[in-house]
Structure 1
């Protein structure tokens, strides 16, 4: 991974370069560049981006430039065919741009990139059936992105992920019939999501949970005949939810 880039100095935004040394100085007369504002040879990402946005035909010539930011911006505007032929760049910012542009069936080479944001970009775009390669990624944000898109048939493999945010996403997406797999999760927030989506018969096992918010979710879903024992629960909200469901049932019966 290349070192963290400090970004352009504020002075770089205001110091004008010498247009006489610019190979594209002919564009100045055409109004296609503006010294100090729209400039390819300035050490300023904003100026370079403005220039290449206005003059995308120049972008391909910058793909092998010595300045990492110029290469990265050029990769946004250059023809896709030129970007596809690029060798793997040493700079992670350039690789992120390339990963954002390559066809999804050409992203396998970036699945295990050393930069997590490159891998996150891949996880956002690659075909869902290829996401299994990221289930064991070392970074939880990459795994989280994978959990958001992984096919349901493979999602249960992430039910025991070491990070609770990943497990919460798994609990939100697993089919209700598979949620019993996570009923004993160590984290109460995960169990709350599980209890709120379980099939009614499966939700019964959550009625005795140590966390009252989990019990509250379970009370909303478990079969009516199973919740009566919680009418004296230690938590007022749980007791209230039980009574409300029982009252609604009795009211319906009387009508």
Structure 2
């Protein structure tokens, strides 16, 4: 942002302020700030944070400060009732901190924020039943966070997500009995996950999969009477698992 580019980077070196002109000289006299280390007016995020951690009563007065990082840090320490009254800040970092502090039932103004990390923060905190508002978010990382927290009964709504990472998370979380809906997923990594988690009878549906790892996972779970067709599979690991299971089955059956 233009505002951020206008000032020197707060993380490059140690930026000391002129204590003779500081409006908080009384704090220095009381030993509650340290020039070059614990300072509210320095252009240094670390110094500002150290200062407000020791002197949180100054945070509220910094919420309208012209320096984005001072505002963002002030939000961490300001009283929650004051933070709740703040209008959305022009800087995404400040909005992100606000979204991390607001009660989970007061995040509606940030559900469709222009910054994906603000929306990710909301997705991490909002009540699970409210996550449906973010199901169609334009950013896959937001939808991935939704997939991690969405109630199991609603995960079916994400099985056709355009991003495989989202579908992989859905495959990890869906109940085993419901995984059949993903057997034709276009991505082998998704099918590998469900093959390792499916109920045995359902795993048999993946024994002819084009991906050998999927077949391997399915061969380890499917009923033994279904896996004989893979005894001569082109992949040695698949053949090995199938023959091992068949041998064990025959041995147990002969007892």
TM-score over 0.5 for the alignment?
yes
How does 1:1-255 map onto structure 2 within 5 Å? Answer: 2-3=1-2, 5=4, 8-9=8-9, 13-255=13-255
Residue pair 1:12, 1:42 contacting (<8 A) in 2 also: no
- CA offset at residue 8 of structure 1? 4.8
CA distance in 2, matches of 1:12, 1:49: 16
Are the equivalent residues in 1 in contact too, given 2:203–2:221 (CA < 8 A)? yes
The answer to whether the Cα contact below 8 Å between 1:110 and 1:122 also exists between their aligned partners in 2 is yes
Superposition deviation, residue 4 in structure 1 = 8.4
Query: Is contact 1:84-1:102 (8 Å) kept?
Result: yes
CA shift at 1:218, angstroms?
Answer: 0.4
- How far, CA to CA, are the matches of 1:21 and 1:85 in structure 2? 31
Structure 2: any 5+ residue segments left out of the alignment?
none
Mapped to 2, the partners of 1:211 and 1:74 lie a distance apart of: 53
Deviation >6 Å, runs of 4+:
none
8 A contact 2:15–2:44 mirrored in 1:
no
CA distance in 2, matches of 1:232, 1:185: 26
Give how far 1:124 is off.
0.4
Distance 2:85 2:59 in 1: 14
Unaligned runs of 5+ in 1: none
User: What is the SS of the residue equivalent to 1:14?
Assistant: coil
Contact 1:107 / 1:126 at 8 angstroms: preserved in 2? yes
Offset, 1:177: 1.3
Shift of 1:248: 2.1
Measured against aligned partners, the alpha-carbon deviations of 1:3-45 in whole angstroms (never above 9, x if no partner) come to 5845853796434211122221101111110111110001111
**CA RMSD of superposed structures (Å):** 1.6
**Contact 2:176–2:198 under 8 Å retained in 1:** yes
- TM-score normalized by the length of structure 1: 0.95
Helix, strand or coil at the partner of 2:231? helix
Q: Deviations over 1:81-125 (max 9, x none)?
A: 111111111110000000000000111111100000000000000
Q: Secondary structure of the equivalent of 2:42?
A: coil
Q: In structure 2, what is the Cα distance between the partners aligned to 1:16 and 1:195? A: 59
CA distance in structure 2 between the partners assigned to 1:124 and 1:15 by the alignment: 35
Any conservation in 1 of the 2:196–2:217 contact (CA below 8 Å)? Answer: yes
- Return the offset for 1:253: 3.1
Cα gap change, 1:15 to 1:193, in 2 (>3 Å)? closer
Paired with 1:4 and 1:152, the residues of 2 have a C-alpha distance of 43
Measured after TM superposition, the shift of residue 143 of structure 1 is 0.4
